[in-house]
Structure 1
Amino acid sequence: MQLPVMPPVKPMLAKSVATIPTGALSYEPKWDGFRSIVFRDGDQVEIGSRNERSLTRYFPELVAAVKASLPERCVVDGEIIVVVGHRLQFEVLSQRIHPAASRIAMLSGTTPASFVAFDLLALGDRDLTGAPFEQRRAALEAAMADAGPPVHLTPATGDPALAQQWFNQFEGAGLDGVVAKPLAGTYQPDRRTMFKIKHQRTAECVVAGYRTHASGPDAVGSLLLGLYNDAGELASVGVIGAFAAARRKELFRQLQPLVTSFDGHPWARARQEQGTRTPQNSAGSRWNNGKDLSFTPLRPELVVEVRYEHLEGVRFRHSAQFNRWRPDRDPRSCTYQQLDEPVGYDLAQILAPEA
């Protein structure tokens, strides 16, 4: 492979802002998948991840699609997604990171991935990273004029009012906000030169366990959160994990009176079963092989208000953020019914608006 921009490349990043900014900007939907940079040189294709690891072996169907839809020699920044029905499904996408080639082959047929392109780093012998985004976008549109599914060009607009409409509507299709890119900006790997606007909501959750921090057994690494479902079961919805060092030790001391055994605990089966929607007390992590996922059970009596972005299935898509304790709330009142449900939106209208 001989390209003017060679792998690995760290993608350009975005910093969070509270509202959609205005000015000389291009606005795009914020896709919820695996950020990837695709390198193609003839029959050679490499798919790099955000952390510069190769994703090529996990998505054989995209290798074939890249050869069919992208220029002969190019470097394209984008997002790998999986669509189920009318929505993005990150949890289904994450199942593709698997050591068994047979499982990857099976999933590539049953839940195939798509690639959404949104920037062009190189074309032919031209390195475009020093060109303004406005020129890179025009070149990308021309280069993808004949592209077809599962390779797509992301929609873009210069109208902040339309961007706000996208922000309000597209969440129903599984997208998680809007990205704003300076039209004059060059491509700067690993630099936060773009802006992202994401949904923020609050929920009251039950704290049903904790994991210790790598700094020591007397420091809390994360709090395990639960919500009661319609069957009256406490379902695991995610974690809070961003605490200062001193706060981690303070939390450990604060939680000790609530420490209990697994006898009668709502997540007791997590000690024996794998693949359930409760925290695994023995299984490792798909993303970090060998990572300890054991946890200390707590009596489900403590309620915390958290900030979250959106749900993926029955869980928070990203780690929640601590807001405040809610000693006034009955843990049994912490149900899914308090959560906002975005109005459904057909993802096909985003990927193929001309249709």
Structure 2
Amino acid sequence: MTPPRVRPQSRSAAVTPPVRVALAESVTALPEGAGWAYEPKFDGHRLVVFRTGNGVTLQARSGRIVTSAFPDLVEAAERLPAGAVLDGEVVVWSDGCVDFAAVQKRAAATRARAAALARALPASYAAFDLLAEGGADLRPAPYTRRRERLVRMLEPLGPPLQPVPVTTDRATALTWYETLVDCGVEGLVIKRVDQGYRGGTRAWLKLRHSDTRDAVVVGFTGPRTRPGALVLTLPGDGVPVVSSPLSAGVRTAAGGLLPEPVGEGTATATGIGDVTYRALPAEPQLIVEVRQETTRHAVAVVAVERFR
């Protein structure tokens, strides 16, 4: 006799911090064919929102808990139903456009300055995924179902918690890509409509206007509070490289984000040779946006643009 089928139960309270967020692979053109959803990629900071029965927790892409930096978003997220977990981008709007410099100030805020900055530079949250609802893990569900539940949850609440726009029409996506760049939209994030949420993998695609790339920070030179350069691993290459000297703004941002080093390592710096650097723990990862250039001597120079 064939035993009766038993439906698998949803995993209660399975989505807890820290979670590994889904990532995107850079492409140079939109994919062909049907079955794709297109979202504008806002120029902000990745943020996962956890609403539990006890309150709200905010997690950065790296896995760091950054709840104290965004008291305005914490207050807004308290209206979410318990057991909800959202993935999205925190942005600050200025004159109708996204102001990334303002977002950087908010993300680097100390607990003492966070409230004042929240009043001066109020944050918005552009949610693009729903990882859990009512404590049930939705990550295995297809994108279309997660999106439907996300919109249903956020529509009654309104700003500053809002779902990102989405289209399945390729022509509309191209119009967004070509016309929204001046308002702080970096490009598009492209997702399969039938795909689950795959944390820690580059299952999504991203089409950017710039030629920048994301790199993992594995160490630094100089003092931790104001490093001279970062040691990075680039996509597809695990060999550490030393960046060019950091700008004043990136040094300041790094001083508030770099964890305590756990040892030392050696990496090659362009024009200098091998240098000793202070190595960071493998987890949580810190991500920076970099631009890789080639000098007239065909030597690659990695310039750090900003922390992501």
**TM-score where L is the length of structure 1:** 0.61
Q: Which amino acid aligns with 2:59?
A: G
Q: 1:71 to 1:245 in 2, by over 3 A?
A: closer
RMSD of the TM alignment (CA)? Answer: 3.8
Q: Which amino acid aligns with 2:113?
A: R
Q: Determine if contact 2:144/2:193 at 8 Å carries over to the other structure.
A: yes
Q: 1:323 to 1:135 in 2, by over 3 A?
A: same
1:181 is aligned, of 181, 185, 191, to 191
Residue 30 of structure 1 aligns to a residue in which SS?
strand
Q: Which amino acid aligns with 2:77?
A: V
1:77 is the counterpart of 2:96: no
Q: After superposition, where does 1:290-309 map in structure 2 within 5 Å?
A: none
Residue in 1 aligned with 2:78? 67
1:325 is the counterpart of 2:296: yes
Residue 95 of structure 1 aligns to a residue in which SS?
helix
Give structure 2 stretches of 5+ with no counterpart. 1-11, 213-218, 222-227, 262-268, 272-287, 299-308
1:104 is the counterpart of 2:114: yes
Deviations 1:162-185, CA, capped at 9 Å, x for gaps:
111111111111110001100111
Q: 1:148 to 1:286 in 2, by over 3 A?
A: same
Q: After superposition, where does 1:218-257 map in structure 2 within 5 Å?
A: none
Q: Determine if contact 2:190/2:205 at 8 Å carries over to the other structure.
A: yes
Residue 75 of structure 1 aligns to a residue in which SS?
strand
1:159 is the counterpart of 2:172: no
Q: Determine if contact 1:35/1:79 at 8 Å carries over to the other structure.
A: yes
Shift of 1:36: 1.3
Residue 140 of structure 1 aligns to a residue in which SS?
helix
What is the rounded CA distance, in whole Å, between the counterparts of 2:144 and 2:249 in structure 1?
46
Q: Determine if contact 2:58/2:65 at 8 Å carries over to the other structure.
A: yes
Deviations 1:287-311, CA, capped at 9 Å, x for gaps:
22689xxxx9x9xxxxxxxxxxxxx
Residue 176 of structure 1 aligns to a residue in which SS?
strand
Deviations 1:35-62, CA, capped at 9 Å, x for gaps:
1111102451111111111011100110
Q: 1:170 to 1:247 in 2, by over 3 A?
A: same
| Corresponding residue pairs, total | 249
What is the rounded CA distance, in whole Å, between the counterparts of 1:78 and 1:290 in structure 2?
28
Residue 109 of structure 1 aligns to a residue in which SS?
helix
1:18 is the counterpart of 2:28: yes
Deviations 1:116-171, CA, capped at 9 Å, x for gaps:
11111111142211111111111111112212111111000000111111111111
Shift of 1:283: 10
What is the rounded CA distance, in whole Å, between the counterparts of 1:283 and 1:147 in structure 2?
32
What is the rounded CA distance, in whole Å, between the counterparts of 1:115 and 1:248 in structure 2?
34
Deviations 1:230-250, CA, capped at 9 Å, x for gaps:
xxxxxxxxxx9969999979x
